Structure 1
Amino acid sequence: MVKVGFIICPHCSDMTWETKEFAAVKTGAGAFRNLGPAAVVGCIACAGCPGRQVVNRAKLLIKCGADIIAMSSCMSSTAADKNACPYYEHILEELSKKLRTTIVIDCRNGAGA
C-alpha cells in the first residue's frame, strides 16, 4: 500500500483539511485518485515562513515510510484567503526538485473531491 505524508502550515488553525484529505487518501479520491486507496503516515509543519525546513521535514516523513509527500490544502487556499501560504509555489518547487525519488502532490487539485 502506498503511504502519504503531509506538509502543513504551522499557522493554520483550522484543521478541517485533515478530515477531507485523510479520507481522500484512504479512499483514493480527489488529488489521490491515481494512487488508489493509500495510508497516511503522518503530517508535519514546514517549520514556518518561508518554508526553510520543508525539505528536511519531508525527509523525516520519508524516514517514517512516506512514498508520497502531499502539500495540504490548508497551505494552498486561494490568494484572496488570508491563510494562503505566500511561499506555496516555491515550497512545491523545492520539494519536487530536491525529492526526485518521491512524488509530491499538490492538494489544490481536488483532495476532497
Structure 2
Amino acid sequence: MLKVGLIGCSLCQDKCWENKDFLAVREGEGVFKNVGAAELIGCFTCGGCPGKQVVDRARLLVKGGADIIALSSSIHHAGDGCGCPYYENIRKELDKQLKSVIIIDTVTNSGM
C-alpha cells in the first residue's frame, strides 16, 4: 500500500481540508482513484505564507516513509474562500526538490 503525506494551508486548515482529503486517501477516491486506498502517514501545514516550511515538511514526510506528497485541496481550492496565492511556486519548488516523490494536487490530479 502506498503511503501518503498531506500538506495543507495553515490559514484554512480548520475550514475544509481534513475531512474530504483524509477520506479520499483512505477510500482511494477522487485523485487517489488511480492509486487506490493508501495509508496516510502524516500531515502538516505549509508553515504559513508564502509556504515557508513546505519543502522541509515534505522532506520530513518522505523521511517518515511517504511515497506521495499530496497538496491538500485547501492549497488550491478557491470555492470556499481558501486558495493559496503561492500555489504555483510551492508546486514548482516541491517538484524541483523532491524529484523521486510523486507530488499530487488534490484538485487537478496533476503529477499522477
What TM-score bracket applies, with the shorter chain setting the length?
0.7 to 0.9
Aligned length: 109
Whether contact under 8 Å (2:17, 2:73) holds in the other structure is: yes
Letter in 2 for 1:57: R
- Which segment drifts farther, 4-13 or 86-95? 4-13
Q: CA deviation at 1:5?
A: 0.5
| SS of alignment partner, residue 14 of structure 2 | coil
Matched residue, 1:106: 105
Whether contact under 8 Å (2:13, 2:45) holds in the other structure is: no
| SS of alignment partner, residue 48 of structure 2 | coil
User: Is residue 91 of structure 1 aligned with residue 90 of structure 2?
Assistant: yes
Whether contact under 8 Å (1:9, 1:46) holds in the other structure is: yes
Letter in 2 for 1:92: R
5+ long unaligned stretches in structure 1: none
Whether contact under 8 Å (2:13, 2:74) holds in the other structure is: no
| SS of alignment partner, residue 24 of structure 1 | helix
Whether contact under 8 Å (2:8, 2:74) holds in the other structure is: yes
5+ long unaligned stretches in structure 2: none
Instruction: Report which of the two has the higher share of helix.
Output: 2
Q: CA deviation at 1:68?
A: 0.3
Q: Cα–Cα, structure 1 residues 82 and 21, in superposed 2: closer, same or farther, change >3 Å?
A: closer
Structure 1 consecutive aligned stretches of length 4 or more whose deviation exceeds 6 Å? none
Q: Please tell me the root mean square deviation across aligned C-alpha atoms, in Å.
A: 1.7
CA deviations on 1:56-92 (whole Å, 9 max, x unpaired) are 11001111111100000011122x7542110011101
Please, what TM-score do these two structures have when normalized by structure 2? 0.87
Take 2:13 and 2:28, find their aligned partners in 1: how far apart are those partners? 26
Matched residue, 1:20: 20
Whether contact under 8 Å (1:7, 1:58) holds in the other structure is: yes
Q: CA deviation at 1:11?
A: 1.1
Q: CA deviation at 1:16?
A: 3.4
Q: CA deviation at 1:45?
A: 1.2
